[in-house]
Amino acid sequence: MSDFEKLINDFKQKIIEAKNSEEIENISSEIFGKKGFINSEFSKIGILSPEDKKKFASQINNGKQELAKVFSQVSSKIKNKELNENIEKEKIDVTLPEKEFKIGKIHPVSQVIDEISSIFSEIGFSVEEGPDVESDYNNFTALNTPENHPAKDMHDTFYLDNDMKTLLRTHTSPVQVRTMLKGKPPFKIIAPGRTYRSDSDQTHTPMFHQLEGLHIDKNINMGHLKGCLNYFIKEFFEIEKIQMRFRPSHFPFTEPSAEVDIGYKIENNKIVIGEGDKWLEILGCGMVHPNVLKNCKIDTKKFQGFAFGIGIDRLAMLKYGINDLRSFFETDYRWLNHYGFDPLDVPTNYRGLSK
């Protein structure tokens, strides 16, 4: 065996013994690379006689082909083996238990705001919003509230400055003022939102939710108010008949003013809304006081209308059987999980999405 043949055999052996793709790559450049074995053999040809040149060149080419054949077999074997090992390593174990994940719930207050908004929107009310931080003027003065009214007391209202000019709104009624000042009658709006009073017990929290309603047009009267509220209460509680009574009351921003009670009874420890010998107060309302209209630049000879204010949290408690108002705002996940609404499981009378 010539020296050359011996070298070829050694390289073959080396290729066969390669264990992984890194080793095989290194061997490849050692044999076939720019400065590898084959090229260096070819570089020796220059010094040979023309006859020997031919012989030696064909010997190198044969050797090169032999090595290339072994190389391609071994290298594809190694690549296959490594590929299979990787697939095996990355295999997904479908028998593993899934990661636990929790779907969020819609808070009963958000749910009820959506329900109320869709009920009123069906009879032409649009939704308005106002800021939680209000001026004393919009919250009290424009709404005809006298300087010495008890609601203005420091014990009731959260003032944000020493001059008592800025405060956290105590009701959603200032949205009436904002709406009338920025537009022209007629107005037919509802305004849900957060309100604040310095109060805390089982039925009062310092922050709570109200819904304001305002309908101003030519010839609007108490009959329209009654019809509107009657429709709303029936739709909201999903009942055919409702006992409702208007009790004379007083609010500085309405004249006449009334509080509305609905009939209910207790059956099997549960409250049944709609009939019975008991009365539950659910809202305040009245015909908008001419002073309020004047403060809002409305011509009282041409326009008049009604307004109402509803406690949203109270309605949510009644409809969904929740006892303690404070639990609404304790951010207890277990509570929300129990009383909250599945975003994909919409209650029957919720029309916001399905209609």
Q: Which residues bind ligand DAH (CB under 6 A)?
A: 171, 173, 212, 251, 254, 284-286, 307-309
Q: Shortest Cβ distance from residue 212 to ligand DAH (Å)?
A: 6
Could you tell me if residue 307 is left (phi over 0), alpha (psi between -120 and 50 degrees) or otherwise beta? beta
Strands (E), 112-218: 126-127, 133-135, 166-168, 187-196, 207-217
Q: Rank residues 64 and 289 by Cβ distance to ligand DAH and give the closer one.
A: 289
Q: Shortest Cβ distance from residue 348 to ligand DAH (Å)?
A: 29
In sequence order, the 6+-apart residues with CB closer than 8 A to the CB of 282 are 233, 260, 261, 262, 310, 311, 314, 315, 318
Q: Rank residues 81 and 250 by Cβ distance to ligand DAH and give the closer one.
A: 250
Q: Rank residues 113 and 307 by Cβ distance to ligand DAH and give the closer one.
A: 307
State the Cα angle at 77 between 71 and 83, rounded to 5°. Answer: 130
Helices within the chain (DSSP H only)? 3-17, 21-32, 37-43, 50-90, 108-121, 136-139, 174-182, 222-237, 290-295, 312-320, 333-339
Q: Shortest Cβ distance from residue 263 to ligand DAH (Å)?
A: 21
Short-list 145, 11, 142, CA closest to 70: 11
Q: Shortest Cβ distance from residue 106 to ligand DAH (Å)?
A: 25
DSSP assigned state of 99: P
Residue holding tokens 């095996």? 88
Q: Which residue is nearest to ligand DAH (CB)?
A: 309
Q: Rank residues 25 and 199 by Cβ distance to ligand DAH and give the closer one.
A: 199
Q: Rank residues 185 and 286 by Cβ distance to ligand DAH and give the closer one.
A: 286
Q: Rank residues 27 and 258 by Cβ distance to ligand DAH and give the closer one.
A: 258
Q: Rank residues 138 and 254 by Cβ distance to ligand DAH and give the closer one.
A: 254
Q: Shortest Cβ distance from residue 226 to ligand DAH (Å)?
A: 13
Q: Rank residues 68 and 222 by Cβ distance to ligand DAH and give the closer one.
A: 222
Do the beta carbons of residue 72 and residue 31 sit within 8 Å? no
Q: Could you count the other beta carbons within 10 Å of the beta carbon of residue 117?
A: 18
Q: Shortest Cβ distance from residue 309 to ligand DAH (Å)?
A: 2
Do the beta carbons of residue 15 and residue 72 sit within 8 Å? no
Q: Shortest Cβ distance from residue 287 to ligand DAH (Å)?
A: 8
Do the beta carbons of residue 207 and residue 196 sit within 8 Å? yes
Do the beta carbons of residue 172 and residue 132 sit within 8 Å? no
What residues are paired with 168 via a beta bridge? 133
Short-list 208, 228, 243, 222, CA closest to 315: 208
Q: Shortest Cβ distance from residue 333 to ligand DAH (Å)?
A: 31
